[in-house]
Structure 1
Amino acid sequence: MTRIALFQSTTGIDPATSLRALETAIGEAAGGGAEMLFTPEMSGLLDRDSARASKNLRKEDEDEVLAGCREAARRHRIWLHIGSLAIRVGNGKVANRGFVIDREGQIRARYDKIHLFDVDLPTGESWRESNTYSAGKEVVVVNGTPVGKLGLTICYDLRFPGLFARLAEADADVIAVPAAFTVPTGHAHWHVLQRARAIEAGLFIVAAAQVGHHEDGRNTFGHSLVVDPWGELLLDMGEESGVGFADIDLKRISEVRSRIPALNHRRPIPDAVTL
């Protein structure tokens, strides 16, 4: 049995404030016996004012939130999955990049969000991540974490089951889905999609999420989740910020897959025929 922690945050427009909240959460997670803490998408800065946000964007080796989190992980001897940070990558673009950090404070893996959120919602909200962000090109599984093999995704990736299938085929035990889900799409799809991805892949889903009303005016859904391979909710953090805990047993994966061995039954899918 492995104890993990999730940080459900209401990240704002000041990275220094975000770092203080993350450092507190890291200490609380370690104090609660967690071996690994998961944080949401955009844990360091959430600001849809691009001109204002650009003043706070840094390259990876200059990012104060990343550096502070690495030091806090080392100090508290805990693994950390930073769901993502906005990192300058050149050519005027930014990566929506997640990090896995070990208890020595070393970066063990990086993942850049593959699927970018370009949508117009009925509420009048319009999002064009591709205007700012550069899409990732690599599917990433991290070996040797406290939760076994950890597959990495970010938010909108949730809607693309092919990515989750690829991670399952790479023997992931847990897939992280850090997010900043909008409220309308959260109410409609958050729980059902997380449970579906866990059931389809036959593994654990850990989804740390942003929550509440943010300084830039947006509202996010919250409900950070841990879902087991049968689709059962082990944790739902509702709509309050803070740190939550869950205990996961990786033996549950083989138990579920022995009951419904769907991964073993997969076959190549032929091209569709239009009649």
Structure 2
Amino acid sequence: MTLAAVAQLCSGGIIAENLAVSKSLIQKAAGLGAKVIFFPEATDFIAPSSQVSALTRSKENANFVQELCAAARTFKTFVSVGVHEPPAQSQDADRCYNTQLLIDNNGNILQKYRKVHLFDVDIKGGLSILESNTTIPGTNMEEPVPSPVGNLGVGMPRDIQSAFSSKH
């Protein structure tokens, strides 16, 4: 039997702290025999909308992905992790992609999935959360890829609940 782990953490606005916790969880799960470790959406950071663009484009955020790839390689585990991904320079300068990465046990990124269905709620006189203000929507679902626990279809909860994913 192959063991998978689900990691949970309360990411904040300091990427280095989120990285330290994430690497510790990878080490712990791998030490317990996990061959695949699943992290949540936005593991790299959770911050106010006004800070998302700068944090996404920071050296610390680029380092976050590099360090998780190195941890996957060191501990010989697959890692699925949600991060903020900057767009190509010619694209939207103020927004990013909400991306789920699948990293193999050699530290290679096997797949990048960009969230398609953004969470926008604007209730007149009440709650207003507009993910589209900071996030560029992805355009497609990705094909499942082999892993130690079977084929994995990388996605995010908002997309999985939509009819879009069932058509692909």
TM over 0.5: yes
SS at match of 2:41: coil
2:107 alignment counterpart: 105
Q: Counterpart of 2:37?
A: 37
> Would the aligned equivalents of 1:81 and 1:99 in 2 still touch at CA under 8 Å?
yes
Following superposition, the deviation at residue 149 of structure 1 comes to 1.4
Q: Residue 27 in 1 paired to residue 42 in 2?
A: no
Question: What is the match of residue 146 of structure 1?
Answer: 148
Counterpart contact for 2:39–2:80, Cα < 8 Å:
yes
Aligned residues: percent identity? 30
State the shift of 1:139 in Å. Answer: 1.1
Residue 9 (structure 1) aligns with: 9
**Which residue identity is paired with 1:64?**
N
Deviation by residue 1:34-66 (Cα, 9 ceiling, x = unmatched): 11000000000111x222333211289x71111
Q: What is aligned with 1:179?
A: none
Deviations 1:242-265 (A, max 9, x none): xxxxxxxxxxxxxxxxxxxxxxxx
More strand by share: 1
User: Is the CA contact (8 Å cut-off) linking 2:115 and 2:155 kept in structure 1?
Assistant: yes
- Structure 2 contact 143–153 (Cα < 8 Å) conserved: yes
Question: Is structure 2 residue 91 aligned with structure 1 residue 66?
Answer: no
Aligned partners of 1:19, 1:39: CA distance in 2, in Å? 12
Relative to the length of structure 2, the TM-score reads 0.88
Whether contact under 8 Å (2:53, 2:134) holds in the other structure is no
2: CA distance, partners of 1:87 / 1:121:
28
What does 1:248-267 correspond to in 2, within 5 Å? Answer: none
2:160 match: 158
5+ long unaligned stretches in structure 1: 168-275
Mind listing any 5+ residue stretches in structure 2 that lack a counterpart?
none
Partner residue in 1 for 2:92: 91
SS at match of 1:151: coil
Larger radius of gyration: 1
Question: Following TM superposition, where does structure 1 have runs of at least 4 consecutive aligned residues deviating by more than 3 angstroms?
Answer: none
- How many angstroms apart in 1 are the aligned matches of 2:157 and 2:145? 22
